[in-house]
Amino acid sequence: PINNVQLIATKYIQTKFLCSAACNQESSCRIFDYDLISKLCRLFEGDSTTGSINLSSSPTSIVGVVSISSSIYSSINNQL
């Protein structure tokens, strides 16, 4: 995200998988980026419709997006 106000945390983590897991553990995290060389993982609360994702000059940087959809949830006690 272009807006660093949405930055939740910055951590040094060993793998991109663990970075995505760190995002998953933060209830407000929707986007993470990870640099394979520096092992820097940044967690953001904005989603893919908030702001924009800028191209990185680093070929070792990746961006992940958490997508939440109502279709992954089941209705409970929703009787008509």
What residue ranges define each of the domains in the chain, with the CATH number in brackets?
Answer: 6-47+55-78 (3.50.4.10)
Give percent helix, percent strand, percent coil of the chain, each to the nearest 5: 20, 25, 55
The pTM assigned to this predicted structure is 0.70
Give the pLDDT band of residue 6 (cuts 50, 70, 90).
confident
Segment 20-48 shows an average pLDDT of 89
Q: How much of the chain exceeds pLDDT 70, in percent? A: 64
- Joined tokens for residue 16: 């991109």
Segment 10-26 shows an average pLDDT of 94
Q: How much of the chain exceeds pLDDT 90, in percent? A: 35
* pLDDT tens digits, 44-62: 887 656 656 666 667 788 8
Beta-carbon contacts of 8 under 8 Å, excluding residues fewer than 6 positions away, are: 26, 28, 29, 43, 44, 45
